[in-house]
Amino acid sequence: MRKILIWLVMLAATAAANQPNVLIILTNDQGYGEMSCHGNPLLKTPNLDRLYDESIRFTDFHVAPMCTPTRGQLMTGVDCLRNLAMNVSSGRTLLRRDLPTMADLFTVGGYVTGIFGKWHLGDNYPYRPQDRGFHESVWYPSSHIGSAPDFWDNDYFDDTYWHNGKRQQFTGYTTDVFFREAMRWMREQAQSGKRFFCYLPTAAPHGPHFVPANYREAMEKLVAKANLPSLGPAAREQLTRYLAMVVNIDDNGTSRCLSP
């Protein structure tokens, strides 16, 4: 499984220089090449490109090639075979309770913490985000929206997620919802003078590749113009939807996150 783009943005507009606000955006199953700044011939990702220019970039960064192991290592700095979150299923997604998470460490440092999106490190007490150092949490269980533990009939549109321990329905497309809720929360913390750590791990562009029609139709035109003779109809459809999901991520983008 191809993983991931991690963007670390240090937002110091309302905080002391040595204690900045911190935002991590982690997209789900997006490859290195799916940004125009990395040379993609079809995609235009101006907001992600701007984030690329302004962010810390890891040029020698190693992760496990699956969802849970990568996320557990990010949260703890401990290898997946040692932190026990070593697989995406089979009861091996549970992060060791005795290991502090990034959210725990930020809390000790006086920050408020929030997660908006995919967790995949345990769906039940004591492994949920709110049990692992996050003060605010909007998330869905397991590996992807529509998985067996998820709320019945979630399909990326107007879905029901866990919000601070309670089920709540949110209006809109999944990526739009997680960005909207994250930005709302960050603004609230900034206005109250609190330092924050925001973790925004999107569901997109992980399959199933559900995407708003306007994004799919626009990408269909671009893919149709490209010279891709080796792609059959089914592969072309999935590529179109996948790239359209990346464009939606970009539109939700960092330019709005960084705006006052």
Q: Which helix (H) or strand (E) holds 178?
A: helix 174-191
d(CA 173, CA 188): 22
Alpha-carbon 56 to chain mean position: 17
Q: Is 120 an active-site residue?
A: yes
d(CA 138, CA 116): 5
Q: Which two tokens stand for residue 139?
A: 């998330």
Q: Which two tokens stand for residue 146?
A: 């529509």
Q: How many other C-beta atoms are found inside a 10 Å radius of the C-beta of residue 91? A: 6
Among residues 37, 62, 67, 206, the one annotated as catalytic is 67
Q: How many other C-beta atoms are found inside a 10 Å radius of the C-beta of residue 46? A: 14
Q: Which two tokens stand for residue 69?
A: 């192991």
Among residues 80, 120, 206, 209, the one annotated as catalytic is 120
d(CA 216, CA 244): 5
Q: Is 144 an active-site residue?
A: no
Burial class (CB in 10 A: 0-12, 13-18, 19+), 132: buried
Going across the sheet that includes 6-11, the strands are: 6-11, 21-26, 196-201, 112-118, 136-140, 160-163, 166-169
Q: Which two tokens stand for residue 123?
A: 């769906």
Enumerate the active-site residues. Answer: 67, 120
